[in-house]
Amino acid sequence: MRGKHYDSLITFPPNFVFMDQLLQFTDRGIYCEAGDFYIDPWKPVNRAVITHAHSDHAYRGHNLYLAHRKSVPVLKYRLGSDIQVQSMDYMESLSHNGVAISLHPAGHIVGSSQVRVDYQGEVWVASGDYKTQDDGLSTPYEPVKCNAFISESTFGLPIFQWRSQQSIFDQLHQWWRKNQDEGTASVILCYALGKAQRILSGIDTSIGPVFAHGAIANINDLMISAGEPLPEVLRITADTKKESFRKALILATSSVLNTSWLRKLAPFSIGYASGWMQIRGNKRRRAADVGFALSDHADWNGLNTAIEATGATKVFVTHGYTYQFSKWLREKGLDAHEVKTAYVGEQIDESGEGEGFENTNILNEVPLP
């Protein structure tokens, strides 16, 4: 947990000017007073609606969790099998204190949900993390009409424009084949939850054997047992023969950098899969030989299209380039605000477990909207 970091990040009370709203921004998370529940709270609460199982959205210590059915196995794996969790499907609705709560596809990772809250006809939607591109594995993002929309803005600058998923996979396959010709292992660094499964579901497994680090294999197993159509991958164990890596693609989290685990795969080439790879310089800073700009967050156009499609006139921007993006939305005529939360964007972090935002200093390098 990065609790220490959050404490310095969250400064209150600026958000308290929004106290009379259906959803409020408090020092524990997004709160619905009428329904007495929180969305993705970062401090312990009684009732928590969880958008998805990344560590900056799903914390330990709540009395009751409510999440999409497909998030539950990973939530239990990460937070403990003894958590009290109620599961829901997309479009299903339940009522609490007269507030209707429903979950809608966010397209970010398997099971990720936008939370729609409806009280006496006033509708608010909290997006959690989302992407508008269909990755072929997560249920595709669906816009939900609302009066107010709470959006992330991890990649909320015009410089971020994703290429098609197919072109990224073509690039990856080409790199893998070239490494095979040279007898070099192809190591891809990615998140254990989300990115790893997206890569697995998109790669051409006829090219060669695919291995995964234990942290990724564990999440895969959970998803496969929950019915997700993922190819079987080989776990790397102490007995795995070195020769088997020469033609292999190996998925690992960035926590393996500078470890003996990684050194055993030598010779290898490192590829990094992250939206940040679209920025020149990040690849080099991260000791990667090649960067694949594959993100599980909406790009600039995705954010703008999504917000427009909600029809919301009020928008709250929770994480990422909140200052720049909320300013841009105000210029477009929306009632947009920046709010402080503990959510972080796509991170190039050392744990490789969840998500976090890293200051890449790109504000000095790119034009602002």
Could you give the CA distance from residue 172 to residue 67 in angstroms, rounded to a whole number? 33
Structure tokens at 245: 């890596």
Is 129 in contact with 296 (CB distance < 8 Å)? yes
In the complex, minimum distance from the CB of residue 35 to Zn ion, in angstroms, rounded to a whole number: 23
User: What is the strand order of the sheet 47-49 is part of?
Assistant: 24-25, 30-32, 37-39, 47-49, 64-68, 85-88
What does the DSSP 8-state code read for residue 90? B
In the complex, minimum distance from the CB of residue 112 to Zn ion, in angstroms, rounded to a whole number: 7
In the complex, minimum distance from the CB of residue 180 to Zn ion, in angstroms, rounded to a whole number: 33
Is 309 in contact with 330 (CB distance < 8 Å)? no
| Closest residue by Cα to residue 168 from 352, 295, 348, 284 | 295
Which one, 40 or 118, has the nearer CB to Zn ion? 40
In the complex, minimum distance from the CB of residue 356 to Zn ion, in angstroms, rounded to a whole number: 8
| 146 φ/ψ angles, rounded to the nearest 5 degrees | -160, 165
Could you give the CA distance from residue 36 to residue 48 in angstroms, rounded to a whole number? 10
Residues that bind Zn ion (CB under 5 A): 54, 56, 129, 343, 355
In the complex, minimum distance from the CB of residue 52 to Zn ion, in angstroms, rounded to a whole number: 6
What does the DSSP 8-state code read for residue 45? -
Could you give the CA distance from residue 240 to residue 245 in angstroms, rounded to a whole number? 9
Which one, 135 or 355, has the nearer CB to Zn ion? 355
Structure tokens at 172: 């990856």
In the complex, minimum distance from the CB of residue 145 to Zn ion, in angstroms, rounded to a whole number: 24
